[in-house]
Chains A and B, each alone.
Chain A
Amino acid sequence: MTTSTSGSKPGRNPFARPLQYLALLAYMCFLAFPLLFLLSTAFKTSRELRSPDAGVLPESLNWQNFTDAIEKADLFTAAGNSLLVAVTTTVIVTAVALPAAYALVRFRTRLRGLATGWILLSQVFPFILIIIPLFLLLKNIGLVNTLLGLVLVYAVWALPFSLWMLQGYVAAIPVELEEAGAVDGASRMRTLGRIVLPLLAPGLVATSLFTFINSWNEFFFALVLIQDPDMQTLPLALARFVGSEGQVQLGQLAAAALLACIPSLGFFMLIQKRLTAGLLSGAVKG
């Protein structure tokens, strides 16, 4: 299907192309409209939001909702917590997964099969089975209601997937390159640092950003493990906001939601191309 079908070739259904565009348009509306609406709500004044005949678009670009949302202390603290947790998790996971992924690919051990099996298996189990024991475990070592406890949990749950992705990238580097380095007399560390690491860099970036976003977005573990309002992460704070004032302050809610999306949206815009190409080649080629 990479060849453009129908439309362009003579003798084919002349309606095919317009219909395809129509379908694409419908998809784009379905996907984009909620986002545009969120954006427009964030710029509306509370008067506009209450009036029954206000248009879909805001009357003016009114940043009040954004400043209000930022000034809300708990949202700001929550964003800080989220950032801290996500960055720490990412650093730990990357540091641990990189050597492990390399070892799993280059030394053909039985571990690789085990690791893959575990990655798949861990997907099947409902979180409830994991969260109760984790909660009890963290409670015993005094890490419930702490960001450190959350980091530990996130790191462990991000590890299998990072390992999986990184393995794909490592496997894509021809082992001959390393052998060539060894033949030329480079030490093992030098080969790794000068040959493997640069080639691995894009994959490493993608993997660590992925970990970052997953931790930034995570909700369930945080919901169970964090009760202290000072320790809550952004998704938690937002969810609580919905339950309380959010029903009244729709504009602020929308603004806060948009702000919370910025890191992940920014990341996706940046690596959009690489994501479709690189991530998939990493995962598909395994």
Chain B
Amino acid sequence: MTTIARPLDERPTRPRRKPRLSGGGRDAWPLVLPALLPVMLFSVYPLVYGVLLGFTDAHAGLGVETHFNGIDNYVELAGNGLFWTSFKIGLIWAFSVTILQFLASLGLALLLNLDLRLRWLARTLALVPWAMPPVIIAIMWQLMLNPNYGPVNRALGALGLPGDVNWLGESSIALPVVIVVGVWAGMPQTTITLLAGLQSVPAELNEAAAIDGASTWRRFWHVTLPALRPIITAITTLDLIWNFNSFALVFVLTAGGPGGTTMLPSLFAYNEAFRYGNFGYAAAMGNVMVVLIGVFLFFYLRGQMRRRLQ
């Protein structure tokens, strides 16, 4: 998932000459069409349909008629305290995971960029969670956090601390615990992306700053970090989106419990749609999620752009 690319058009533009090989844009169609058609049918169309469903009273079941009901769903949603609680949980989850993930990954990437022994092992380990299905990551952490058998409680017990904490079943701590698992699961992408960014920072810049007597910390702050900024913006944006929309990990870990304290909005909407069959209402939730996250991203990216221009 390393879609950290600079926008494609920003690449150093080659001299704008038309490649002699090409027969113009029209030749591209037959090649692109097989990709375009299914994408249109199974991704553009459902998305448009999904957005529209948010304005209907669509319901699961045979022979149920669907009517547009304007903003009824949203009026109802505005008064649905459970949804907003879940939305708040989703924001706490997404921001905490993204920020912690970023800090932890930046630290690891900086270390991996140094000339340390065992670097290869750490690099491999850093990649492993990426290769694991979220379902299995969840299973693994359930074992880790098992109240009776899990090594986390065992270790606490050995240290003389209370060793019988029900990590995933205690409503006051379930969310922070799930956030830690989220960080573990998402570190690889962020680490590798940042590492690639670090390696593209010209060494000369740092050397020059070092010769000028800048301390390690100052070099990091004034040379490395600014050079990394575009990549940081890209990866944190993507992480935030992915985390806000994530589903499988928490679904298997806690299924939203205990007492709804880890009920991410995606789980909430899933239940609404596929447990209670309220398709229209669930789609409306999806719409609200897109709009709010979209607004946030707009301001975040605009702020980053301005900073870059300065």
Contact = CB atoms under 8 A, between A and B. Distances in A.
Interface string B44-58: 111101110110001
A268 B127 contact: yes
Interface string B190-211: 0011011011110100110010
B107 A27 contact: yes
B122 A27 contact: yes
Contact of B114 (A20, A30, A280): A20
A280 B38 contact: no
Residue among B18, B141, B144, B270 with most chain A CB within 10 A: B270
B3 A24 contact: no
Main SS at interface, chain B: helix
Contact of A220 (B141, B238, B247): B247
B94 to A, nearest CB: 11
Contact of B143 (A120, A157, A253): A253
A282 to B, nearest CB: 8
Interface string A96-110: 110110111011111
A250 B146 contact: yes
B21 to A, nearest CB: 6
A156 B116 CA distance: 42
A11 to B, nearest CB: 11
Nearest to A237: B135
A5 B218 CA distance: 13
A261 B133 contact: yes
Interface stretch (B73-81, B170-178, B278-286): B278-286
Nearest to B134: A219
A121 to B, nearest CB: 9
B34 interface: yes
Contacts of A1: 110, 113-114, 198, 201, 203, 206, 220, 224
Nearest to A104: B32
B286 A32 contact: no
A240 to B, nearest CB: 10
A169 interface: no
B247 A102 contact: no
A153 B38 CA distance: 9
B184 A30 contact: yes
Contact of A27 (B108, B193, B210, B274): B108
Given A20-B111, A21-B116, A108-B18, A127 B247 contact: yes
Interface in B80-113: 104, 107-108, 110-111, 113
Interface residues of B, number: 122
B202 to A, nearest CB: 9
B295 to A, nearest CB: 11
B143 A130 contact: no
Contacts of B309: none
Contacts of A189: none
A132 B53 contact: yes
Contacts of B276: none
A123 interface: yes
A267 B35 CA distance: 26
B193 to A, nearest CB: 8
Contact of A276 (B107, B131, B141, B196): B196
Contacts of B131: 213, 261, 264-265, 267-268
B303 interface: no
B2 interface: yes
A119 interface: yes
Interface in A267-286: 267-269, 272, 275-276, 279-280, 283-286
Interface string A126-142: 11111111101100000
A58 B195 CA distance: 36
Contact of A2 (B141, B199, B266, B297): B199
Contacts of B159: none
A33 B151 CA distance: 10
Contacts of A128: 50, 266, 269-270, 273, 282-283, 285-286, 289
Contact of B133 (A33, A188, A235, A246): A235
Contact of A175 (B21, B124, B143): B21
B187 interface: yes
B165 interface: no
The 3 closest A-B pairs by CB, nearest first: A217-B133, A103-B31, A100-B35
8 contacts: A109-B28, A118-B43, A125-B50, A126-B266, A152-B38, A217-B135, A275-B192, A286-B7
Given A137-B42, A219-B135, 11 more contacts: A99-B34, A100-B32, A100-B36, A111-B32, A118-B39, A119-B3, A124-B293, A132-B283, A152-B42, A168-B5, A178-B21
